[in-house]
Amino acid sequence: MAARIMNLPKHGLCHLMRTSALARHYAGSTGSASPPQFTTLSVDDKTGIATLTLNRPPANALNAAFMGEIARSIKELEKSKCRGLILTSSSERIFCAGLDLKECYQAEASHLQGIWVALQNLWHTLYSTPLITVALINGHTVAGGGMLALSSEYRIMLPNFKIGINETMVGLAVPMWLIDTYLNVIPNRRVAEWDLTASRIYKSEHALKAGLVDELAASKEQGLERAVAFISSYPKHSLVARAITKRQFREKDLKNFEDNRQHDLEIFLSNIQKPNVQSYLGEYLESLKKKA
Ligand SMILES: CC/C=C\C/C=C\C/C=C\C/C=C/C(=O)SCCNC(=O)CCNC(=O)[C@H](O)C(C)(C)COP(=O)(O)OP(=O)(O)OC[C@H]1O[C@@H](n2cnc3c(N)ncnc32)[C@H](O)[C@@H]1OP(=O)(O)O
């Protein structure tokens, strides 16, 4: 994989930065942003395709810093005019386990607020990006992890893993923007309503049949090849028109979200701090520990 620093490659699509250079760039451009800690980013010089690998062991659970890092990488890639983005995980078992529940348990309101705002920003950034996005789901992905996969345009999954949105299981409502994201993939409202109210979790093979994922790949290597093939299937000359068309499909969902951003935050803060939800969350965390 060849990478250059802030030069336009021959195909003119992508300024390329090594991970370390990107880290310096963040620090220089935003001041407050720290260097990547939970992700690695590589950009292929020939294809103009970036691969962002989630790397927050053991479960890639999403805390505010991690989510901020993913969102900033996407924004930087947009500026560098990369063609596409593949999201994947360094873990062999877990793509993303959703929000870091340990950080949602008995936490200060200000901390919970930081988590939710970071989740909102990450969703908005990924869902609205003009980049061609592929989730290479090489492990379980649930709740906020499902959000990452479903907000991408194309999903390639490895066999024998789980995918789904299980929020109601922890006694909390699925936010409207996540319902809209789900409907963008599973437009059958009855199926979507049933899946989300029942916290239905699909195994890879069933997810393919249901249309929740687009392809299964036998290995991560094969998945990467398929992801590159998907992104490369869009000709260079169509990229701007493609991005505008994507935006138009997603515009209503993005506007609904912007109109309700504050309300959405208030609902989360009020729900997550309820004693019964906190008590259930404590039990749920214990059950995760006991499995080990
Ligand atoms: C409380 C919810 C709050 C608000 C929701 C409100 C609105 C909802 C809208 C959308 C936003 C998204 C919300 C969320 O993302 S809530 C997160 C829900 N996530 C889960 O329920 C996933 C729980 N985890 C699992 O089911 C399994 O871990 C998984 C299937 C992902 C993988 O199974 P596997 O057997 O491979 O690994 P484990 O041994 O279970 O886990 C390894 C390790 O990781 C820790 N772990 C797992 N998940 C989390 C997590 N979400 N947060 C923090 N830590 C997690 C687990 O405890 C193990 O740790 P250790 O024992 O130390 O090795």
For CA atoms 251, 41, 142, 232, give the dihedral sign.
positive
- Per DSSP, helices labelled H in the chain are 19-30, 64-79, 101-104, 109-128, 144-151, 176-185, 189-197, 204-210, 220-232, 239-272, 275-291
Q: In ligand 1, which atom is closest to the CA atom of 145? A: 15
**From the candidates 62, 99, 119, 150, which is the catalytic residue?**
99
Q: Does residue 155 carry a pLDDT above 50?
A: yes
**Active site includes 7?**
no
- Does residue 104 have a pLDDT over 50? yes
Peptide bond into 175 cis (omega under 30): no
Pocket of ligand 1, candidates 63, 99, 150, 265: which has the most ligand atoms within 8 Å of its Cβ, to mutate?
A: 99
Question: pLDDT of 271-287, one tens digit each?
Answer: 999 999 999 999 999 99
Q: For 288, what's the count of Cα atoms within 13 Å in the CB-facing half-sphere?
A: 13
**Pairing of the two strands 49-54 and 39-44:** antiparallel
The alpha carbon of 91 and the centre of ligand 1 are apart by a number of angstroms equal to 14
Q: Which residues contact 132 (CB under 8 A, 6 or more apart)?
A: 83, 84, 85, 153, 154, 230, 231, 234, 242
Tell me the per-residue pLDDT of 195-216, one tens digit each, with 9 for 90 and over: 999 999 999 999 999 999 999 9
The arithmetic mean of pLDDT across residues 26-47, rounded, is 73
The set of residues, in sequence order, having a beta carbon less than 8 Å from that of 233 and lying 6+ positions away, is none
- pTM, two decimals, is 0.90
Token digits of residue 273: 């701090």
pLDDT confidence of residue 292: 58
99 is catalytic: yes
Q: Which atom of ligand 1 is nearest to the CA of 288?
A: 57
Looking at the DSSP bridge assignments, the partners of residue 154 are: 134
Residue 188 has pLDDT above 80, yes or no: yes
ipTM score for this prediction: 0.94
> Is domain 13-219+239-291 classified as CATH 3.40.190.10?
no
SS3 132: strand
Task: Tell me the C-alpha to C-alpha distance, in Å, between residue 283 and each of 101, 162, 262, 286, 291.
Answer: 11, 22, 29, 5, 13
- 5 alpha carbon, distance to own chain's centre: 26
| 24 pLDDT above the threshold of 70 | no
Task: Compute the distance between CA of residue 163 and CA of residue 135 in angstroms, rounded to an integer.
Answer: 12
Q: Which of 148, 162, 167 is nearest to 201 (CA)?
A: 162
Identify whether the C-beta of residue 55 lies closer than 8 Å to the C-beta of residue 40: yes
What is the DSSP pairing of strand 154-157 with strand 215-216? parallel
